[in-house]
Structure 1
C-alpha cells in the first residue's frame, strides 16, 4: 500500500491563497511520514525552524537501523535511499515553482507578502537540504552494499544542485538591498569561480551558515 509522501506540498499557501502543486508520490511501504515525523511543510506565515526541520530528517533517516543486520538492513537502506530521492524531488519541485513565480514577476518585482511566502519556501528547502545531506552521511555508515555507491553519487550531485539553486534563488527573493541574513549566508559563494565544482564539504559549510543565520533571527 502506498505511503504518504515525506512532505505535503499541498499545505503551502501562497499570497493569493492558491495552493502549490501537490508533492510527489510515496517512496516506500514503510511510510516516510511516520519515520520522518515533523518534516511536513507549514504555512508560509509560520515556517518551521530550519535547524529543527533538518534534525528531524537526520533522526528519521537512521531510526531503527542500528537494530538491523544482514539482508534486513540492506533492504531497509534501499528504502531510505528511495525516501531521500523523493525528498530531493520535492525540494526541486518547490524551487522550480518559486523560481518560475519570481521570473514571471519580471521588472515589477514581487510584493512583500509574496516575498514572505517565497522566503518561507526557501527556508523549508534549506531545512530539507541540510537534513537530507546530514542524514545521508549517517546512512552511509549503515549501508555497506557495494551496489549503492552509484546511487549515493547521484544523491550527492542532486543535493549539490539543490544547494546551488537555493543560493541563487535566495538572492533573487531578497532583492537588491533587501537581503535577509539567511539570504546573505546561503548566497555568499554564489559568484565563486569554482561553484560548479563545489565540494561536499563546502556545500555543507554553506548550508550550516544558512541554518546558523536562521537560528540567530529566531532568537
Structure 2
C-alpha cells in the first residue's frame, strides 16, 4: 500500500545573504501522512531554517517545496520560543490562535477545551498563563498549534525545558495526532526523544541530510 505524500522537498538551497555559505544545500526529503520524521543536528546546522522554509516564513534560492493546496492550508508551525500571552488564560490563548487560524466561532471553545483536557490542563483552563509552570506553558503552546487540526505539524523543540509529566502529555498527544494522519517534522535535542517518537531520524550535517531508519513497521 502506497503512503500518501504530504510534502516533497527537492534540492533545497538556502542562504541568508548573497555570497555567504549555504545554510541548506541540495536538501531533499519527503513527509508522509501519519509519519513523524525527527531532525537532529548541531546548533546552527539549519534545522530551524528548514522548518521556516517549509512553513513559507523564510525564502530559499534553489529547489522547490511541493505540497497539495489543501495540505498547505492545514500546515501549522510551532517555533521554539513561546508565543503566548501571559495576561490571557490558557483557554483564551487557544481561542485567540484559533481565530487567527480561521476556526469557526462555535468550535473555538470546544476544540480548546478538548486540547486542554488531552494535555491534562482542564483544571487550569481559566488561570492566567503567567500563573502556570514552564511545562504547562509548553503544553498550551503545543495546543495553540493544534487548534487547526493540522495535516502537517512543524515542531521546533516542543518539549524543551519540560518536566516529566509535561513531556509525557505532549508525547502522547503527538502520537494520537499521528494516528489521525498528521505528518510531523520534529526538531529535538532531548536525549531519546526522537527515538521515542519518530519513524525516521534525519541528521543535518553541513546543510545536508543523513537518514537513520528506526522503525521496523
Q: TM-score, normalised by structure 1?
A: 0.30
Q: TM-score, normalised by structure 2?
A: 0.30
Higher relative contact order (CA 8 A, sep 6+): 2
